């Protein structure tokens, strides 16, 4: 071993990575606002869209039998049930803010909150 554990170049690299992380974090944070719609997609296709301030229980049943259940209550969204093998989506915290997501990877289900009117108008028009 002998030589120092960290060289100057290592420090520079760490600094750059940290900087990129912090800048993108700051950028995301500044864009964080209360969300207004919930979009559920299955394999990239929109399955259902609904309002965040409207309490609701959504069952996502896919043709292959995959099943997930999402609850929207008082502006918060969470997954209550799923028959996926890992159940990580069910364990996920409630989401509330713009751009927050809950993912069920085995079922390719993404629940996301979107805030901007421009987004919702687009999708409703479809």
Partner 1 sequence: MKTKKITIFGVLIALAFILSYIESLIPIPIPVPGIKLGLANLVVITGLYVMGEKEAFVLSLIRILLVSFTFGSPSTLLFSFAGGILSCFCMILMKQIGKFSLTGVSIAGGVAHNIGQVFIAILVVNNILMIYYLPFLLISGLVTGLVIGMVGALIVGSVKKYHLVTGNNN
Q: Which residues bind partner 1 (CB under 8 A)?
A: 1, 3-7, 9-10, 13-14, 17-18, 20-22, 24-25, 28, 41, 43-44, 85-86, 88-89, 92-93, 99, 101-103, 105-106, 108-110, 112
Nearer to partner 1, 52 or 110 (CB): 110
Q: Which of 113, 79, 110, 73 is nearest to 93 (CA)?
A: 79
- The answer to whether 69 touches 82, Cβ cutoff 8 Å, is yes
Mask 37-76, x = binds Zn ion (CB under 5 A)?
----------------------------------------
CB of 124 to partner 1, least distance (A): 19
- Side-chain half-sphere exposure of 13, counting CA atoms within 13 A: 5
Nearer to Zn ion, 71 or 84 (CB): 84
Interface region with Zn ion, contact rule CB under 5 A, candidates 31-39, 44-52, 79-87, 118-126: 79-87
| Tokens 């421009």 belong to residue | 118
DSSP 8-class letter at 4: -
Contact flag: residue 110 with Zn ion (CB under 5 A): no
Q: What are phi and psi of 63, to 5 degrees?
A: -60, -30
Sheet of strand 56-61: strand arrangement: 56-61, 67-73, 76-82
- Out of 37, 38, 70, 104, which residue is the one contacting Zn ion (CB under 5 A)? 104
């Amino acid at each position: 071993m002998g030589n120092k554990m960290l060289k100057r170049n290592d420090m520079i690299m760490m600094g750059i990575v940290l900087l990129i992380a912090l800048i993108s974090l700051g950028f995301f944070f500044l864009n964080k606002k209360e969300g207004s719609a919930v979009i559920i997609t299955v394999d990239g296709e929109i399955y259902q869209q609904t309002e965040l301030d409207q309490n609701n229980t959504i069952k996502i049943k896919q043709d292959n039998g995959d099943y997930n259940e999402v609850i929207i209550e008082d502006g918060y969204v969470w997954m209550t049930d799923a028959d996926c093998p890992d159940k990580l989506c069910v364990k996920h915290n409630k989401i509330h803010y713009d751009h927050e997501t809950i993912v069920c990877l085995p079922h390719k289900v993404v629940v996301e909150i979107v805030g901007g009117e421009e987004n919702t108008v687009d999708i409703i028009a479809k």
